[in-house]
Chain A
């Protein structure tokens, strides 16, 4: 047992992790030590994607990140999407499309889809399917999730056009 004190940067804020055990995953630390329980734990083996976060801008499974090795990296979780008073465009699209049933897969999907649309605002269907192939949903059958991506993508594209024409 090694007890450690280290600092993680999550959604732009620094958090001290005190008394952590050295084998703890980032997912565990986020949920159990930092009270950021938006990222979900279903498999702890990289299969389901419900724990998806951004590590320096790339999606990864936080259950497979050794927490103490993420010192100095920029971690973005579902709590970093949108703001206190307003949900993000992708979150809103999920609501509008009815893409949430039990909701367990939703945080991971939102992080993955937000990242996709940031890098490619108008992805084709195959690109979307590929981008969310690491996120399992046992409720929706994915139809409404794909619909939500389309809504968010159309809104972002329309917004970009509008800004260009200004």
Chain B
């Protein structure tokens, strides 16, 4: 059937309902690498990249909603950066300008790589995905959406329509370690999100386990220690304990990008650095 360029979400879902084996294409930055290697056949393709509603974002009450087709370049919008700074920081570290122009948030989630850079941020914020098929709309929490290394909860005929997350008051940090500054897959990544009104520090980590996850024990510890009135600096002992708790929660592996031991060490360093920056961050 070749390539169908959908103009609307409804049209896309109808095409998928008719032919569930069709491959969904967004920015192509994961899919085309596979196609060029010959490991992904693209006999029948549904292109979502020209559906205007998938590229939009909106503030809805205390939540922000992103169309799944929003690109990394568009996520760097200063307005978005003011609302979900860690997501913009993560988007800015992805690939190169070429990759950021094409690659999308929805593609990053569907690929579900342990190293997907937006995932620790969405995990820290408990983002929810809106999935749609021709017959059903459903919501899935990010923690349930990513089911393993490069596997997700999408069912045949379903696409990710949008991603919703709360807008938290307070500073945020996204940090990643790689071999250089540009064009680098994370060896370790970490998002730290402050929630002033819930008096909670939220920590998401990536590349240190099959699925990015929240370091809940570390969160509980630091949320009690954090000075919610002033953000003032914490003692070295507290910072080190937090860093240790984050590192202890991880289950990294050895691979060509780094050893498990290095990853455990590095994630602790990121935890410490992110916390220090959050403490130094201005109160809004």
- A90 at interface, CB cutoff 8 A: no
Chain B proximity mask over A112-150: 1 for CB below 8 Å, otherwise 0: 100000000000000000110111000000000000000
Chain A residue with the shortest CB-CB distance to B48: A69
Contact A25 B97 (CB under 8 A): no
Beyond A66-B28, A69-B5, A133-B183, whether A49 also contacts B36 by CB under 8 A is no
Nearest Cβ on chain A to B36's Cβ, whole angstroms? 4
Contact A66 B45 (CB under 8 A): yes
Chain B residue with the shortest CB-CB distance to A23: B42
Contact B35 A59 (CB under 8 A): no
Contact B182 A133 (CB under 8 A): yes
Query: Which of B13-21, B98-106, B131-139, B143-151 has 4 or more CB atoms under 8 Å from chain A?
Result: B98-106
Interface size grouping (class) on chain B: 20 to 34
In Å, the complex CA distance between A134 and B44 comes to: 30
Within 8 A of A (CB), among B1-49: 1-3, 5, 25, 27-29, 31-33, 35-37, 40-45, 47, 49
Within 8 A of B (CB), among A79-138: 112, 130-131, 133-135
Nearest Cβ on chain A to B6's Cβ, whole angstroms? 11
Nearest Cβ on chain B to A17's Cβ, whole angstroms? 12
Residues of A contacting B43 in the complex (Cβ-Cβ under 8 angstroms): 1-2, 22-23
Contact B41 A23 (CB under 8 A): yes
Residues of A contacting B27 in the complex (Cβ-Cβ under 8 angstroms): 64
Residues of B contacting A4 in the complex (Cβ-Cβ under 8 angstroms): 2-3
Contact A69 B36 (CB under 8 A): no
In Å, the complex CA distance between A22 and B2 comes to: 6
- A60 at interface, CB cutoff 8 A: yes
Beyond A63-B32, A68-B2, whether A134 also contacts B99 by CB under 8 A is yes
Contact B97 A131 (CB under 8 A): yes
Contact of A65 among B32, B73, B96 (CB under 8 A): B32
- A46 at interface, CB cutoff 8 A: yes
Residues of B contacting A68 in the complex (Cβ-Cβ under 8 angstroms): 2-3, 45
In Å, the complex CA distance between A154 and B119 comes to: 42
Contact B49 A134 (CB under 8 A): no
Between A44, A49, A66, A112, the greatest number of chain B beta carbons within 10 A of the residue's beta carbon is seen for A66
Contact A66 B36 (CB under 8 A): no
Beyond A23-B35, A23-B41, A64-B32, whether A49 also contacts B98 by CB under 8 A is yes
Nearest Cβ on chain B to A7's Cβ, whole angstroms? 13
In Å, the complex CA distance between A131 and B100 comes to: 11
Nearest Cβ on chain B to A4's Cβ, whole angstroms? 5
In Å, the complex CA distance between A54 and B141 comes to: 36
Contact B3 A25 (CB under 8 A): no
Beyond A22-B45, A69-B49, A71-B5, whether A45 also contacts B98 by CB under 8 A is no
Chain A proximity mask over B91-117: 1 for CB below 8 Å, otherwise 0: 000011111011000000000000000
- A76 at interface, CB cutoff 8 A: no
Residue pairs across A and B with Cβ atoms less than 8 A apart, 9 shown, are: A2-B43, A52-B98, A63-B36, A64-B29, A66-B3, A72-B5, A130-B182, A131-B97, A134-B97
Residues of B within 8 A of A (CB): 1-3, 5, 25, 27-29, 31-33, 35-37, 40-45, 47, 49, 73, 95-99, 101-102, 181-183
Residues of A within 8 A of B (CB): 1-2, 4, 22-23, 25, 44-47, 49, 52, 55, 58-61, 63-66, 68-69, 71-72, 112, 130-131, 133-135
